[in-house]
Amino acid sequence: QGTIPTSPSLAPQVGAGEARCEAAVVMAAMATEAAVVTSRMEAWEEDVLPVFYYNDFLVNRIGAPVGLNLFEPRYVEMCRRMGGRDPRFIFMLNYEDYQCKAGDVGFTIRVRSIQPQGGGRAFGIQGVAEEMVAVACTWQEPNTNGLHLAKVWRLNPSIPPVPHQQLRVLSDFLELGRWTRVRGDVRWMYGNSEGALVLAGCNWLSSTGSAFLLAPEAPAAASRLPQAIAAAATPSTSPDELRQLQNVLEQTVQRVPSVDATSAVRLSDFFNALNETIRWEGRGTRWAAGLPEEEDTQPDTQPDLSYSSRLLRRVRLLRLRGMFAEMPSVRIQLQWWQDRQGDLRLGAVASNGSNVILHAVPEDMMIAGESADAAMAELVWRLNRPRLQLLQRAHSRGSCCFSSLREDLLSQVFAFIAVRPAETA
C-alpha cells in the first residue's frame, strides 16, 4: 500500500551535499505551492482532512508516535499538502477495502517533521496521534491519484465502545421499535420517523470486537434511544436485560453535531423544479431575467448551465450518499460530464476553493430545504422583476390601475408578488 512504518528513533535524516540540496529544492517547491494555495483560500473547513489507510493497529491511542515512509502517489500528494496550512491527516484502520464510511473511527495525526525523499517521489514523516475522530462524510478528490478526504467529528476518548454482541441486541430492539436501517455509505445506521438517528463506527470490529455508537447531540434526540428501547420491550424481555441495554447506551453513546435533514431536498429534484418554473415563462421574460430563452433539444449538445450559478450559490449541502456533509463554506455548481459511453450526464461539483472539492451526481446530494427555498425565491424575483419594473413605471406615469395607490401600498403589492432576496456571500 505504498507505506513503510518506521521507528520514531529512526527518523529519515538528510546527509550533506546532494541529499541536502535535493531536499531543499523539494521543500522550496512545497513552500511555493503552499503559498499559492494559501493565497486563494477564501474559505476553509477545519474538520476536513486527507485519509491514510492502514490494516494494523500501528496507532491505537492519543499520544502514540507515528513514523511512516510514504511513496504511494496519493499519499505523496497528501504530504505535499501538509506543507501548507494544516499539517494533519487521519490515520484510519481498515481491514477490508481501504475505503472508509460514515461512522468509521480513526486518529488525527499532527505531523512534526516531513522529509522529502527521492526528489519528492516519497516522504518520510514523523508525527503524533492528537485526537480520536469519526467520519461524518468522505469522498475521493479528483486528480489526486485516489486520495480520500473526510469531514470528521471529534470524539470523547473517555467514552468506551460497545461490544459487538450488545450492538446486535441494540439492532434487534431498534427494529422491533420500528426504526429502519438507513442505506448509503454507512456500515450501521438506524433512523426513526421523527428524524432521530443512531450510527455505529464498525471498522474496529474485526480487531477489537467492539464498535463506537454515535448520535446527534440535540437534547431531544438524546432521549429517543432509551425510549425506543423501552418501547420495543416484549413480555419476554427481562427487566435486567432492558436495564443493561439502557445502561450501555448511557455509557457508550458519543454525541456528535446534530444535522436536521427532515426538510432536506434532493439536488436533482430541486434542479428539475427550477427548470420547470423557467419553462412556464415566455421567451421575453426569460430573456429579461437572464435565463435561457429556449430549451436545447439537440441530443449532442450541452445545454447552458451558466444561469444556475447565481441561484445555486444559496444552496447548502447537507448529505452526500447518506453521509453527513454539512460544510458551511462549500458551494455547489452543476456541470455536464461525458460518461464512458460518450453520453452527456449532469454532474455536481461541491467546493470551497481551498480544501474541499468533490464530484457527485445530483441524485446523491441532499441540500438544506431552507436554502432551496431561498434559491427558488431568487428565481421568482428575477422572473417577476421585469413585470414589477413595468408596473412601477406605469404607476409613476399615472397610466395604470395602480396609479391611485400610495407608494407604501404599492410596495406591499410588489412584495406579495415577489420579495427581493437578500444578498449572499
The answer to whether 120 and 76 are in contact (CB under 8 A) is yes
How far apart (Å, rounded) are the C-alpha atoms in residues 111 and 88? 6
What pTM was computed for the model? 0.81
- Return the SS3 of 373: helix
Range in 18-22, 45-49, 78-82, 335-339 with the lowest mean pLDDT: 18-22
Grid coordinates standing for 320? 452526500
**303 pLDDT exceeds 70?**
no
Crossing angle of the two packed helices 224-232 and 164-176, in degrees rounded to 10: 70
CA-nearest of 224, 168, 164, 226 to 197 is: 224
Q: What percent of the chain has pLDDT over 90?
A: 43
**342 pLDDT exceeds 90?**
no
**CA angle in degrees (0–180, nearest 5) for 21-27-30:** 145
Give the model's pLDDT for residue 308: 82
Q: What is the mean pLDDT of residues 198-202?
A: 92
**284 pLDDT exceeds 60?**
no
What single letter denotes the amino acid at residue 4?
A: I
How far apart (Å, rounded) are the C-alpha atoms in residues 288 and 296? 19
Q: Quote the mean pLDDT of the chain.
A: 81
Grid coordinates standing for 330? 462549500
The answer to whether 162 and 198 are in contact (CB under 8 A) is no
Give the model's pLDDT for residue 22: 45
Give the model's pLDDT for residue 62: 96
E-state strands within 32-144: 48-54, 65-70, 88-93, 105-117, 122-140
pLDDT tens digits for 59-71?
999 999 999 999 9
Q: What is the mean pLDDT of residues 203-223?
A: 80
Give the model's pLDDT for residue 25: 43
Give the model's pLDDT for residue 89: 98
Range in 2-6, 143-147, 161-165, 347-351 with the lowest mean pLDDT: 2-6
Q: Are strands 210-216 and 253-256 parallel, antiparallel or unpaired?
A: parallel
Cβ count within 10 A of residue 269 = 14
Q: What is the mean pLDDT of residues 198-226?
A: 81
Q: What percent of the chain has pLDDT over 70?
A: 75
Tell me the backbone φ, ψ of residue 53, rounded to 5 degrees: -100, 145
CA-nearest of 224, 168, 228 to 200 is: 168
Block residue for cell numbers 491511542: 61
Give the model's pLDDT for residue 2: 55
**160 pLDDT exceeds 50?**
yes
Q: Are strands 317-320 and 365-367 parallel, antiparallel or unpaired?
A: antiparallel
In our burial notation (b when 16+ CB lie closer than 10 A, e otherwise), range 150-185 reads bbbbebeeeeebbbbebbebbbebbeebebeeeeeb
pLDDT tens digits for 20-63?
444 444 444 545 444 444 444 468 999 999 999 998 888 999 99
